[in-house]
Amino acid sequence: VSVNEMEALKREDVFFINGRWLLSKGELSLTGEEEVGICGEETLYLRATTKTIKDCFSLNFREFIHSLKQKLKKKEVKARMITYPWDLIDNNCWALEEDFEFPVKEGVQGKLPSSATIYGEKDRVFIAKSATIQPLVLLDSTKGSIYIDQEAIVFAHSHIKGPSYIGKKSQILGANIGEGISIGPLCRVGGEVEETIIHGFTNKAHRGFLGHSYLGEWINIGALCTNSDIKNDYSTVQVYVKGEFMDSEATKVG
């Protein structure tokens, strides 16, 4: 697949969207007049015809975008932007609720034992037909939606708060799952987890706390491992970025 390849841009009109922009439903039309959308210093999107861009092909991609920004009408747009890793965590609750509105789904399709409880609105909980919910599970949708995907297993005594997503074939091992959780496919999660994104094939199966964190694929967290996501004096967390500390402006960063 061509990515930012100048030769490919000669074939038709172009429409670029900034990959760090968190779009909500209906926020941007795929069709419209030539223009560039900006938010402060950030370029959000750019829509242009082949006629407009034909004089820019000798430039590299960065110069190409800069040149078009000078030619096109500018439109100021309010936007949620991802700049640093902790922005992903800060926006995850919002993103989970946005995503819950997209898939075609019909509530609880899988079996829900009589001793398992949905606390909150039942229509904010989706359980795939092939998912397994064991007895004595509590699904709390009072503050957000819960999506349990295909072949996931939620073991007894698990407590899941929304908004949260449990990926395909993942297992929740009697865990306390707080809000703002995204768990990818084939993960095993136990202990206490909140405000965390976990990519596929990663295990945190044992007791211990994990909060305001971002985990990639194929990670194993050992038994009783715990991270701290807040400072003792409740001041904002400093993060080491590009050789120096910067203020995250957040009191919780894992």
Residue of 200, 205, 233, 204 whose CA lies nearest to 217: 200
Average the pLDDT over 119-125 and give the result: 95
Residue of 196, 187, 189 whose CA lies nearest to 175: 189
The most distant pair of C-alpha atoms in the chain lies apart, rounded to whole Å, by: 68
Give the per-residue pLDDT at 170. 99
Q: Measured between alpha carbons, how far is residue 209 from residues 146, 163, 193 in Å?
A: 21, 19, 6
CA distance 76 to 243: 33
Summarize pLDDT for 150-169 with one digit per residue, the tens. 999 999 999 999 999 999 99
Q: What is the pLDDT confidence band of residue 94, given thresholds at 50, 70 and 90?
A: very high
Average the pLDDT over 220-232 and give the result: 95
Q: Coil, helix or strand for 171?
A: strand
Whether 48 and 72 have beta carbons less than 8 Å apart is answered as yes
Give the per-residue pLDDT at 96. 96
Q: How many CB atoms are located within 10 Å of the residue 217 CB?
A: 13
Average the pLDDT over 29-40 and give the result: 92
- Percent over 90 (pLDDT), the chain: 79
With 80 as the cut, is the pLDDT of residue 3 above it? no
Prediction pTM value = 0.89
With 80 as the cut, is the pLDDT of residue 1 above it? no
Q: What is the pLDDT confidence band of residue 56, given thresholds at 50, 70 and 90?
A: confident
Give the per-residue pLDDT at 104. 66
- 116 phi and psi angles, rounded to 5 deg: -90, 145
The owner of tokens 């609750």 is 93
- Percent over 70 (pLDDT), the chain: 97
With 90 as the cut, is the pLDDT of residue 12 above it? no
CA distance 189 to 55: 54
Average the pLDDT over 191-205 and give the result: 98
Mean pLDDT of the chain: 93
With 90 as the cut, is the pLDDT of residue 129 above it? yes
Four-point Cα dihedral 205, 209, 212, 218, nearest 10 = -20
Strand partners, 108: 127
Give the per-residue pLDDT at 220. 98
Map out the domains of the chain with their CATH numbers. Answer: 6-81 (no CATH), 83-254 (2.160.10.10)
Summarize pLDDT for 173-197 with one digit per residue, the tens. 999 999 999 999 999 999 999 999 9
